[in-house]
Each structure stands twice: as structure tokens, then as C-alpha cells.
Amino acid sequence: MKIDLKIDIDSNTDTTAADFLAAKSGLSKSKVKDAMNKGAVWLKKKKGGMNRLRRATAVLNKGDHIELHYDEKILSLTPTSADCLSDRGNYSVWRKPPGMMAQGTLYGDHCSLIRHAELFFSPPRKVFLVHRLDREAAGIMLIAHDKHAAAGLSELFQKNLITKRYRAEVLGVLDDLRGAIKFPIDEKSAITEYQVLSHDSGKNTSTVDIVIRTGRLHQIRRHLEMIGHPVMGDPKYGKGNKNAEGMRLTAISLKFRCPVSKEEVEFSLPQ
């Protein structure tokens, strides 16, 4: 079942958000509350933007705009767990598992890393997403906890001042043990450097270490497909590279000058 409601409140009412949406959608109040808790309800007051509304007892007032984006399939998903690798106070470092979204959608955020981090800390902290990692990929991600850290980290990513290393299993045997792929992506310059670590003749695959010098959409996946060695398990790019293990691409480390401490830091996945 999928329901999309967008309603302007044209008069003051004592009705709670949960009761109002249950009446308008035909859903039970318990299902509405579950949808609210999982981030599928949005509220816009007279001033300010749209925000997720999780409080079922919130009273709606004239001039409010409320939305319910209910997708039974999405809301029934069980979220996977991410690991907090380092708590730096102003920001934290996480290992995102494959299949977990960085942030949610209109239809909910309970399966996202940003919501997982929001629920992880006690007392609660603000959470700011400063970069993304493909849903199918796993690995290191940063989440900021104040606006200063968020701005500083975002600037580092935007200016490519963070060294980002990845590990991938790709189809076939690469001709060169070390190289750089420089094909433009979306008419913009893109550089992906790689080093072959090992070959598996039985599976006809290679394991490669990768550093990207630019941050184009799906850069690694697209570049490796361009040279005929797509990432194993990639659901979008490549032929002959499908498997039952999911996409074999992991962000293994981030190295940068911390915008808070001004020190060089490096965060890596445990080996």
C-alpha cells in the first residue's frame, strides 16, 4: 500500500497530527504513529521549511501544511546497524554497511545512517550529513554534530581536500598493476587512481586499491566500467559482474586536516 497526502490546514483545530492523518488516510492510528516515528510525516509551519514530524500528539494549527508519504514496503524494512568508529565530539566517524542509505527519503529515514546516528548518542546531538556514499557501497562516513564542523568538513569534500581510499573487487585481470583513469564524467574532469593488490584466477577477479582525486557521481563504478573491469555486484554498471554477495566496493579510509583541531587525521576501517 502506498499513500501520498499533502494537506493545508485551513482552520484551527484541537486535533492531533496522528488523529488527523488517520482520519484523512484511512490508516489505523497505530500505523500512522509508526509512520511518524520512521520519518514519513512532514510538517511546515507558517515560518520555516519542511521538517519531519515524529510527535503524534502535535496539534495542527491554521496555516500549517502536513504531508504523509506512506509506503508499506519501505516502512516494513528492518534497519541494519552501523558502527561508530570514533567520536570526536564535533563529528563522528562511522562504518556504513552495504544497503544502508546515507539519509532518508520522503517515505522515511529509519533505515538511514543519519537517523541511526541521531538515535545513537545520549543525550541526543544534532546530526549533519556532510558527504554521501552509494547505498550499495560500504565503508567510512563522517557525520557532523554542529554547524561549524559541518561547514568545515563540507568545504573539505567540496574542494577535494580529503584523501579518499577505497577497496574494490573487479571483474577480470587488469593489464597494468598501477594506473590512473582520466575519462571525463558528465563532461567534467575525473581522476581515479588504482593499484592492483591481487588476482583470483578461479573467480576471474582482481582486488584493487583506489584513490579518487575528484568526486563525480558514481565515479569509481563508472570509470572501472569504462576500462572493462566493472565492480563485482554493481547493480547499475557493467556486464558479467553480477553476484550474490552485493557490490564489492568499500570506502576504507579518509585522511584530512581536521577543521576543528587543525591536525592531520586519518580514519581507517579495522583490518
Mark whether 134 is an active-site residue.
yes
Phi and psi at residue 146, to the nearest 5°:
-150, 165
Before 184, cis peptide (omega within 30)?
no
Task: Output the nine-digit C-alpha cell for 76.
Answer: 516494513
Q: Do 4 and 69 form a contact (C-beta atoms < 8 A)?
A: yes
Residues 150 and 130 sit within 8 Å (Cβ to Cβ): yes
Taking the C-alpha atoms of residue 183 and residue 117, their distance in angstroms, rounded to an integer, is 36
Cβ neighbours of 248 (radius 10 Å): 22
Q: Judge contact between 247 and 166, C-beta under 8 A.
A: no
For 140-163, letters b (16+ CB in 10 Å) and e give bbbbbbeeebbebbbebbeeeebe
CA gap 197, 131 in Å, rounded? 27
Q: Which one from 34, 134, 146, 176 is the annotated catalytic residue? A: 134
Indicate the residue type of 160: N
Element (H, E) at 141: strand 138-144
Q: Please tell me the distance from the alpha carbon of residue 244 to that of residue 233, in angstroms, as a whole number.
A: 7
Characterize the bridge pairing of strands 65-71 and 2-8: antiparallel
- Active site (catalytic) residues: 134
